[in-house]
């Protein structure tokens, strides 16, 4: 057996963590959850920084629950960058490789590569105290990645980053996580559904120390069963194969905007929010800019805050199966929509983001 | 030829004379290095009991020498080689007009003395008792050099010291009538069988006696 | 920084500087060269610097591990051990000397063993001086270092562990560098304590020129007879101290974050 | 924590505990009550606790402000001041005593002034004991506290200032509480140093029962005549120390973050 | 004169800050910029934690450049929460009021109110070391707000917050900032354009220590002049008056989803991304769910990454003036769009967020 398998139970004052998780070999798990739900605590347990008495943790088939951190071959980015104040940025990043036995020159070489990758090579010789918040966060990320661990644990790796840096880091992380050879697993804590979608195969949602949802990213985010997940996610995800101008699903096209690292022909996921989906009556096809218009049957209609969320049946080839669309109540009334109505769904290509999928079959 | 070492433990009040004797002995024996360890006699005795190694012990007090003999540390009979009596050391010129032991009880006089645990201190008590006076002391110092130091520094107006201690110009002496009511006798003894130890003892008793007399010590 | 602190700070400074000024005023600078080069002075100075340096090294080698154990282990008896380690601090040094004599002296249980098995007697040797100094100075190092270890916390050590560093690496590459300022104060304090050691030394090691008569003992012996030479020696020490502190200390003591 | 640290740590512990064990072995427990209740012992104990406590208070009142000034002000001469403050550390205590005599003694420049203007003579009084102890002990406090101040950094003080706290408030409500562990070590160290003070005391204050003969002086005096009684006194001190350390220290020294 | 006026010049190693800013009385300035652009440095200068020699700072007409922090009456949330480790959460928050002269009971009362406001009242008695990252961040925010300062400085106040907490905090902040009496000013550093839009009247964009854009929020975000601003913002903002189902603009309606604290009748701003705007030819009006369809004239067409950004002329009443719409190049070709084309813009009500405006006239 390989991958990561863990069962953990821990009490801390009033807080109790009770989690079981299972990440197959080579895959990435995203952990979502409200503040204080136990995400960092979970990561600390996996890293060996907390050692609950009642725990079983297997990394690549090896039981590590009794082992101290360095023997677990984990790499950790904690929520606080905690860069070593007495070392330069370069030596901070070189610390991991050095500790794993590289000689000084090699370790520095590795560190320099990672600093470049993460876009902070210019700070190599600085003391950490002279970095801005986002710069420190990036150096800490480089430090965690440079250890090349069996189990990579990242706690909000993209927090504090600016709008240019965040996508760049996300792409860099995706590269790292995809290149990971067999026997490697990563767990990423995040508050951003886009991280989960673009980085993770699986999602685990924590609330008050317990797992409230768990499963393949697409399934959990597309049909969230809790309010929290719905609020952070509730995105439409369509799996297919990247094309030059979007995605091919069951032979049908979905036009969209390709992410920089998406390669036509490779597996990909199209993401668009329910609020971006327009609904037309079947006999009234629009002739406008929306590139994507296709038929669907309404499966459900339910109030969702100020809007009504409509879901389509999972009964057709192409992208319109099992899609959510948010409409104002006025629109629902105006179009006289109901369960079973035949409609045309329309979604502007500009609202459809196409991300490379992490692997060919993201579902178990 | 290799230099031989001779270790001598000597009472603090012998500091000056034994430093001279050390020099003379070394002049006569160029191959010998004499090391003299000065401290209060009782402390020296205690160190000997705890394993300090010395060849010769010169004490300021016969009781102390008896203790050392009792420990079985001596290799020869203790022999008296000098006596000493107390006197009053005062600031040069004696500005307060101190004339005797009785003046040490005056309100305006700051006087210091040895603590009773050491020979000069017990002698001081003995003398005061014999003369039926009760001097007021500002401090009881751990040994006689400390007493002298306080007077030299000008912090004390008067101090009870040995007559042998007031030979320099930094202090003046006020002799005590009847000082001989408390006389210290200094014995010397060897602690090893080394021939050099016996030779040093002979040297002190012989050629050394002149130096001792010059320094003010009495003959035993 | 509140203004009100200046007044007591200046008073504190005066308490330290005025006596030293007094010492300088009394110094007979003309005789200084002669006094400093006397046999006794040179012997004492050399012996003091040597033994204080040796015992400081011992304090670091033994005290830092002890401080780490005290700060980082979670055994229940740690609290008692800590109390015991601090005892030499409150013991009058003379008593400390007796304690050493009673264990390592000829009649002490360890001393007897050493004497019988190896023919070694410790008291009244230079080794005894070093042991006495280490005994009184080590708690100063342990207290400084342990306090700093507790204040720094374990966060950086944890991070280092997750980066794959084994305990020995964490210790040498994270704990120690972060500890440097505290270690520097600890070293200064314990070196100073060792250099000034009097009571335990005279009791356990005696006062023999060139062997056990360190500077404080020499100064004490000379003080009454020849204050000038004692003062001269002290001035020399002060100069050495100022050089050490001004030149060597700042970098480390001003800390990593400065 | 690396395993390898245990060996030196245990050795360090042995260095401290074995002599104390030796002391206990030699104690004449039958005579203990008599020895401890002798007039001289009681006087010395009372005087020592009193003067050490007083001088520790002085050390805190004067030393903490000085440490803050040293750690936080940016004047260029701070480095020199720091070196001067540390001088009593390296000065043999006897010389420290002379330094005090030369400034506050009858012929010292300050002492003369005091004598002429106020009719006060300091030497041979209990005040002299306190001054001598403060002189030698204060640097210990200053070093501990300054080191901690530098290590903690100014981040929390800055935050407090932005929340509207004036320097005095920052000092009492942020700097001091965060300093507590270091202050506690500093207090322990300087109290210990004051309690064990010998050389400066005997030089500057003399040795008179009930007035200036503190415990170390008493022990030194008794050591010649009656070692048992010296040992008995020390045992009493040890007991007091253990109680103080185990009961009073942990909360503060184990630190805020523990 | 009142409000905040500052001119600052500071060098720090290789970095130079050179900023002039002017925030009118009672208004809020958002500071945006990439990592390391000097945002935190700017705030530190205003707070008095850094005191550049070359600075003039006037708060409410008073020159404070020479004053230490407590005499500036500022309230600061720094990027790192830095809660006092020796005080409970409650006493951390009470610290400010206490320092400003309140007695202990009053200060605690104030603190408790703010903890409740920020949703962390349950942690009042905890030590900061026992809080999660997001919880600590919220407590630090409460602590900054509780000082009731003349100049409030917030560095990324909503970072590390979960999807439920962030909007709640944003609403709470908005309440605070709107309630602020005359003579008060706030400066908020953020990476999220939504914060700028919903909290700030003015925006200042920093890059490498210099101001690259500055002006009313709406103007800067709607027509960004730098790539960075365009990437973080480039949103459509429409100013009007809130109605029950959206916004009224020049008498025309724009249907949308009202934020919780938006009150019909009050000034409000509608926000929607260019990618949400569909374009139809004028003669081909769609009959679908999009509630908002109105005519416009194309003013410009320019490539914008993978899409084409179209801008409408500012020549009509209603919401379609000066609007940006992103289309795929294929759609532009298909509809044969060009400058001057008459089109219908359509935007789904569900994509239109209506936020309360901070004041009646957000322009200078
Ligand atoms: N103490 C310091 N000494 C020298 N340079 C510093 C120091 N602190 C920060 N810098 C540099 O100054 C620049 C501005 O830093 P600042 O912290 O103001 O950035 P920021 O805009 O807040 O970034 P972020 O979004 O990452 O928090 C950066 O390039 C940083 O590296
Ligand atoms: N040292 C501690 N002792 C006791 N309780 C703690 C400690 N640290 C955290 N907690 C509590 O445990 C719970 C989980 O904390 P954790 O840090 O794992 O949350 P999180 O999911 O990472 O939250 P965030 O998104 O805010 O970082 C919280 O309720 C927190 O208050
Ligand atoms: O010479 Mo003594 O032993 O000080 O009285
Ligand atoms: Mg967390
Ligand atoms: Mg910043």
* Nearest alpha-carbon partner for C53 in C150, C191, C199: C191
pLDDT digits (tens, 9 = 90+) for E13-45: 789 999 999 998 888 899 998 888 999 999 999
Task: Tell me the CA–centroid distance for residue B41 and ligand 3, in Å.
Answer: 5
* Nearest alpha-carbon partner for D98 in D217, D248, D205: D205
Kindly identify which residue of chain C lies nearest to residue B168, measuring between CA atoms. Answer: C225
Q: How confident is the model at residue E232 (pLDDT cuts 50, 70, 90)?
A: low
Asked if E245's CB is within 8 angstroms of A328's CB, the reply is: yes
Q: Does A257 fall in a domain? A: yes
Together in a domain, A188 and A239: no
- Alpha carbon distance B116, B126 (integer Å): 10
Q: Which of C48-62, D15-29, D202-216, E21-35 has the highest mean pLDDT?
A: C48-62
Provide mean pLDDT across the span A119-128: 91
- Alpha carbon distance A293, B32 (integer Å): 116
Contact status, residue D254 vs residue D185, Cβ threshold 8 Å: no
CB atoms under 10 Å from CB of D132, counted, come to 33
* Nearest alpha-carbon partner for E138 in E190, E173, E96: E173
Instruction: Establish whether residue E36 lines the binding site of ligand 1, counting it when its CB lies within 6 angstroms of any ligand atom.
Output: yes
Is the pLDDT at A164 greater than 60, yes or no?
Answer: yes
CB atoms under 10 Å from CB of E340, counted, come to 9
Together in a domain, A78 and A133: yes
CATH code of the domain in which A271 resides: 2.40.50.100
Q: How confident is the model at residue C253 (pLDDT cuts 50, 70, 90)?
A: very low
Return the pLDDT at E289.
64
For residue D76, how many C-alpha atoms fall within 13 Å in the half-sphere facing its CB?
Answer: 0
- Alpha carbon distance E254, E240 (integer Å): 9
Return the pLDDT at E246.
86
CA gyration radius for chain A?
A: 22
Q: Is A130 on the interface with E (CB under 8 A)?
A: yes
Helix (H) or strand (E) holding B79: strand B79-84
Tell me the best of B60, B113, B164 to mutate to test the pocket of ligand 3, counting ligand atoms within 8 Å of each CB and taking the most.
Answer: B60
Examine chains D and B and say if they touch (3+ CB pairs below 8 A): yes
Q: Residue A238 to residues A191, A296, A314, A318, A352: CA-CA distances in angstroms?
A: 22, 15, 12, 9, 10
Q: The tokens 């609904």 sit on which residue?
A: A279
With a pLDDT cut of 70, the percent of chain C lying above it is: 90
CB atoms under 10 Å from CB of B136, counted, come to 12
Higher pLDDT, A116 or D198: A116
Return the pLDDT at A17.
93
Return the pLDDT at A361.
38
Contact status, residue A271 vs residue A193, Cβ threshold 8 Å: no
Domain D48-84+92-257: CATH superfamily is: MetI-like (1.10.3720.10)
Kindly report the pTM of this predicted structure. Answer: 0.78
Retrieve residue A72's tokens. 């677990």
Average pLDDT of the residues of chain E: 84
Retrieve residue D142's tokens. 């200053």
* Nearest alpha-carbon partner for E158 in E123, E186, E188: E188
Q: How confident is the model at residue D253 (pLDDT cuts 50, 70, 90)?
A: very low
Contact status, residue E308 vs residue E360, Cβ threshold 8 Å: no
Asked if A307's CB is within 8 angstroms of E348's CB, the reply is: no
CA gyration radius for chain E?
A: 22
Retrieve residue E3's tokens. 């409000």
Phi-psi region of E148 (alpha: psi -120 to 50; beta: other; left: phi over 0): left
Q: How confident is the model at residue C52 (pLDDT cuts 50, 70, 90)?
A: very high
ipTM, two decimals: 0.77
Lowest mean pLDDT segment, chosen from A307-316, C226-235, D148-157: C226-235
pLDDT digits (tens, 9 = 90+) for A284-321: 666 666 778 888 898 888 776 667 888 888 888 888 88
Return the pLDDT at C182.
78
Q: Does E227 fall in a domain? A: no
Return the pLDDT at E303.
73
Subunits next to C (3 or more Cβ pairs <8 Å) are A, B, D
Contact status, residue B53 vs residue B62, Cβ threshold 8 Å: no
User: Which of these three, A222, A243, A262, is where a domain ends?
Assistant: A222
Return the pLDDT at C246.
65
Is the pLDDT at A2 greater than 90, yes or no?
Answer: no
pLDDT digits (tens, 9 = 90+) for A205-218: 998 899 988 888 87
Q: Distance between terminal CA atoms of chain A?
A: 16
Together in a domain, A189 and A277: no
Range of the domain at E23: 4-222
Which residues of chain D make contact with C257, given a CB cutoff of 8 A?
150-151, 153
- Alpha carbon distance E154, E138 (integer Å): 12
Question: What's the number of domains chain A is made of?
Answer: 2
As a dihedral over the C-alpha atoms of residue E359, residue E361, residue E363, residue E364, rounded to 10 degrees, the angle is: -90
- Alpha carbon distance B122, B125 (integer Å): 5
Q: Does E240 fall in a domain? A: yes
Using a CB cutoff of 8 Å and minimum separation of 24, what contacts does A97-101 make? Answer: A97/A146, A97/A147, A97/A148, A98/C173, A99/A70, A99/A147, A99/C160, A99/C163, A99/C164, A99/C165, A99/C166, A99/C169, A99/C173, A100/A147, A100/A148, A100/C164
Together in a domain, E137 and E212: yes
With a CB-CB cutoff of 8 Å, which residues 136-195 of chain B face chain D?
A: 137-142, 146, 150, 153-155
Is the pLDDT at D256 greater than 70, yes or no?
Answer: no
Average pLDDT of the residues of chain D: 82
- Alpha carbon distance C93, C200 (integer Å): 5
Q: Which of A85-99, C27-41, D178-192, E228-242 has the highest mean pLDDT?
A: A85-99
CB atoms under 10 Å from CB of C84, counted, come to 18
pLDDT digits (tens, 9 = 90+) for C25-39: 877 788 888 877 887
- Alpha carbon distance C241, C218 (integer Å): 18
D83, D148, D215: residue with CB nearest C92: D215
Asked if A35's CB is within 8 angstroms of E291's CB, the reply is: no
Q: How confident is the model at residue D225 (pLDDT cuts 50, 70, 90)?
A: low
* Nearest alpha-carbon partner for B176 in B82, B96, B89, B61: B89
Together in a domain, E205 and E326: no
Together in a domain, E119 and E267: no
Lowest mean pLDDT segment, chosen from A53-62, A329-338, C65-74: A329-338
Which residues of chain C make contact with D65, given a CB cutoff of 8 A?
5-9, 12
Q: B83-97 burial, b if ≥16 CB within 10 A, otherwise e? A: ebbbbbbbbeebeee
* Nearest alpha-carbon partner for A274 in A312, A238, A323, A313: A323
Kindly identify which residue of chain B lies nearest to residue D216, measuring between CA atoms. Answer: B142
B7, B52, B153: residue with CB nearest C123: B52
Using a CB cutoff of 8 Å and minimum separation of 24, what contacts does B193-202 make? Answer: B193/B75, B194/B6, B194/B55, B196/B4, B196/B6, B196/B29, B196/B32, B196/B55, B197/B6, B197/B55, B197/B56, B197/B75, B198/B76, B200/B6, B200/B8, B200/B25, B200/B34, B200/B55, B200/B56, B201/B56, B201/B76, B201/B79
* Nearest alpha-carbon partner for A73 in A55, A60, A87, A89: A60
Residue C162, classified by CB atoms within 10 Å of its CB into exposed (0-12), middle (13-18) or buried (19+), is buried
Contact status, residue C219 vs residue C229, Cβ threshold 8 Å: no
Q: How confident is the model at residue A244 (pLDDT cuts 50, 70, 90)?
A: confident
Q: Which of B99-113, C97-111, E180-194 has the highest mean pLDDT?
A: B99-113
Examine chains B and E and say if they touch (3+ CB pairs below 8 A): no
Nearest-5° Cα angle at D228, B142 to B52: 65
Q: Does A362 fall in a domain? A: no
Together in a domain, E317 and E242: yes
- Alpha carbon distance A295, A320 (integer Å): 7
Return the pLDDT at D254.
41
pLDDT digits (tens, 9 = 90+) for C197-208: 888 888 888 877
CATH code of the domain in which E79 resides: 3.40.50.300
Retrieve residue A323's tokens. 């899609």
Lowest mean pLDDT segment, chosen from C21-30, D198-207, E72-81: C21-30
Is the pLDDT at E189 greater than 90, yes or no?
Answer: yes
Contact status, residue D102 vs residue D111, Cβ threshold 8 Å: no
Q: Is D221 on the interface with B (CB under 8 A)?
A: yes
Instruction: Establish whether residue B119 lines the binding site of ligand 3, counting it when its CB lies within 6 angstroms of any ligand atom.
Output: yes
Together in a domain, E143 and E248: no
Nearest-atom number in ligand 1 for the CA of A131 is: 31
Nearest-atom number in ligand 2 for the CA of E131 is: 31
Return the pLDDT at E358.
57
Q: How confident is the model at residue E46 (pLDDT cuts 50, 70, 90)?
A: very high
DSSP string, chain C: --GGGHHHHHHHHHHHHHHHHHHHHH--TTTHHHHHTSHHHHHHHHHHHHHHHHHHHHHHHHHHHHHHHHHH---TTHHHHHHHHTHHHHS-HHHHHHHHHHHHSTTSHHHHHHHHHH----TTSHHHHHHHHHHHHHHHHHHHHHHHHHHH-SHHHHHHHHTT--HHHHIIIIIHHHHHHHHHHHHHHHHHHHHH--HHHHHHT---TTTT--HHHHHHHHHHH-HHHHHHHHHHHHHHHHHIIIIIHHHHHT-TT-
Return the pLDDT at A360.
36
Q: Which residues have CB under 8 Å from A14's CB, separation 6+?
A: none
Q: Does E140 fall in a domain? A: yes
Return the pLDDT at C256.
34
- For chain B, helix, strand, coil in percent to 5 are 40, 25, 35
Provide mean pLDDT across the span B186-214: 93
pLDDT digits (tens, 9 = 90+) for C72-122: 877 777 777 877 887 787 777 888 888 898 888 877 888 888 888 888 888
Phi-psi region of C243 (alpha: psi -120 to 50; beta: other; left: phi over 0): alpha
User: Which of these three, A178, A196, A222, is where a domain ends?
Assistant: A222
Phi-psi region of A300 (alpha: psi -120 to 50; beta: other; left: phi over 0): beta
* Nearest alpha-carbon partner for C44 in C55, C35, C31, C57: C35
Q: Which residues have CB under 8 Å from B143's CB, separation 6+?
A: B12, B39, B40, B114, B118, B120
CB atoms under 10 Å from CB of B168, counted, come to 10
Q: How confident is the model at residue D47 (pLDDT cuts 50, 70, 90)?
A: very high
Return the pLDDT at B1.
46
Return the pLDDT at A274.
83
Which residues of chain C make contact with A84, given a CB cutoff of 8 A?
156, 159-160, 174, 178
Mutate to test the interface with E, among A10, A141, A270, A328 (most CBs of E within 10 A): A328
pLDDT digits (tens, 9 = 90+) for E298-348: 888 877 666 788 888 888 888 888 888 888 777 777 787 888 888 888 888
CB atoms under 10 Å from CB of D75, counted, come to 10
pLDDT digits (tens, 9 = 90+) for D163-172: 888 888 888 8
State the DSSP code for B215: H
């Amino acid at each position: 057996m390989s991958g990561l398998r863990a069962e953990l139970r821990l009490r801390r004052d009033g807080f109790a963590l009770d989690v079981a998780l299972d990440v197959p070999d080579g895959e990435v798990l995203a952990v979502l959850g409200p503040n204080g739900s136990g995400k960092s605590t979970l990561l600390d347990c996996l890293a060996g920084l907390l050692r609950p008495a009642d725990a079983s943790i297997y990394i690549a088939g090896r039981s590590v629950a009794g082992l101290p951190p360095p023997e677990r071959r984990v790499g950790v980015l904690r929520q606080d960058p905690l860069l070593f104040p007495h070392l330069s940025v370069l030596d901070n990043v070189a610390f991991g490789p050095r500790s794993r036995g590289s000689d000084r020159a090699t370790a520095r070489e590795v560190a320099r590569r990672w600093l470049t990758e993460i876009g902070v090579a210019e700070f190599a010789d600085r003391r950490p105290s002279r970095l801005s918040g986002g710069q420190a966060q990036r150096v800490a990320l480089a430090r965690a990645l440079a250890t090349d661990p069996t189990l990579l644990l990242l706690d909000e790796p993209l927090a504090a980053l600016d709008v240019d840096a965040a996508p760049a880091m996300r792409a860099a992380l995706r590269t790292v996580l995809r290149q990971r050879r067999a026997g490697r697993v990563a767990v990423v804590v995040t508050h951003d559904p886009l991280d989960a979608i673009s980085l993770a195969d699986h999602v685990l949602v924590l609330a008050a120390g317990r797992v409230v949802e768990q499963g393949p990213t697409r399934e959990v985010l597309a049909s969230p069963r809790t309010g929290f997940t719905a609020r952070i996610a509730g995105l439409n995800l369509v799996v297919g194969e990247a094309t030059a101008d979007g995605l091919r699903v069951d032979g049908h096209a979905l036009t969209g905007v390709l992410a920089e690292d998406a390669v036509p022909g490779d597996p990909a996921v199209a993401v668009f929010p329910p609020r971006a989906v327009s609904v037309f009556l079947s006999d009234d096809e629009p002739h406008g800019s929306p590139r994507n218009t296709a038929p669907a049957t309404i499966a459900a209609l339910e109030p969702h805050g100020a809007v009504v969320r409509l879901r389509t049946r999972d009964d057709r080839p192409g992208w319109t199966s099992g899609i959510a669309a948010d409409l104002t109540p006025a629109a629902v009334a105006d179009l006289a929509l109901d369960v079973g109505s035949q409609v045309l769904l329309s979604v502007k290509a500009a609202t459809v983001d196409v991300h490379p999928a992490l692997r060919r079959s993201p579902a178990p | 030829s290799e230099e031989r070492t001779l270790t001598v433990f000597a009472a603090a009040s012998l500091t000056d004379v034994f430093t001279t004797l050390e020099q003379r002995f070394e002049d006569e024996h160029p191959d010998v290095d004499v090391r003299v360890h000065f401290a209060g006699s009782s402390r020296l005795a205690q160190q000997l009991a705890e394993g300090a190694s010395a060849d010769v012990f010169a004490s300021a007090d016969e009781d102390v020498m008896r203790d050392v003999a009792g420990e079985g540390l001596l290799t020869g009979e203790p022999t008296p080689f000098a006596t000493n009596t107390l006197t009053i050391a005062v600031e040069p010129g004696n500005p307060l007009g101190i004339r005797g032991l009785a003046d040490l009880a005056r309100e305006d006089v700051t006087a210091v003395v040895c603590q009773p645990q050491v020979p000069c201190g017990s002698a001081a008590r003995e003398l005061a008792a014999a003369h039926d006076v009760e001097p007021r002391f500002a401090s009881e110092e751990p040994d006689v050099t400390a007493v002298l130091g306080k007077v030299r520094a000008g912090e004390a107006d008067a101090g009870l010291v040995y007559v042998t201690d007031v030979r320099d110009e930094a202090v003046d002496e006020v002799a005590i009538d009847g000082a001989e009511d408390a006389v210290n006798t200094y014995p010397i003894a060897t602690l090893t069988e080394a021939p050099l130890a016996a030779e040093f003892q002979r040297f002190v008793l012989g050629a050394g006696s002149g130096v001792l007399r010059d320094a003010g010590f009495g003959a035993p | 920084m509140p203004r009100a602190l200046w007044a007591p700070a200046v008073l504190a400074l005066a308490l330290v500087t005025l006596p030293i000024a007094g010492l300088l005023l009394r110094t007979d600078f003309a005789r200084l060269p002669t006094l400093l080069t006397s046999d006794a002075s040179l012997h004492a100075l050399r012996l003091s610097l040597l033994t204080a340096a040796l015992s400081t090294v011992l304090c670091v080698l033994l005290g830092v591990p002890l401080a780490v154990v005290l700060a980082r282990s979670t055994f229940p008896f740690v609290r008692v051990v800590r109390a015991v380690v601090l005892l030499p601090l409150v013991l009058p040094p003379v008593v400390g000397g007796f304690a050493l004599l009673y264990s390592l002296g000829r009649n002490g249980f360890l001393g007897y063993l050493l004497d019988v098995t190896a023919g070694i007697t410790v008291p009244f040797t230079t080794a005894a001086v070093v042991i006495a100094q280490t005994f009184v100075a080590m708690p100063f190092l342990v207290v400084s270092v342990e306090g700093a270890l507790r204040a720094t916390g374990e966060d950086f050590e944890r991070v280092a562990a997750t980066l794959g560093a084994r305990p020995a690496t964490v210790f040498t590459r994270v704990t120690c560098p972060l500890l440097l300022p505290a270690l520097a104060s600890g070293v200064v304090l314990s070196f100073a304590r060792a250099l000034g050691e009097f009571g335990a030394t005279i009791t356990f090691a005696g006062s023999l020129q060139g062997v056990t008569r360190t500077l404080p003992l020499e100064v004490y012996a000379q003080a009454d007879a020849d204050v000038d030479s004692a003062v001269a020696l002290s001035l020399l020490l002060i100069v050495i101290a100022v050089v050490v502190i001004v030149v060597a200390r700042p970098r480390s003591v001003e800390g990593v974050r400065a």
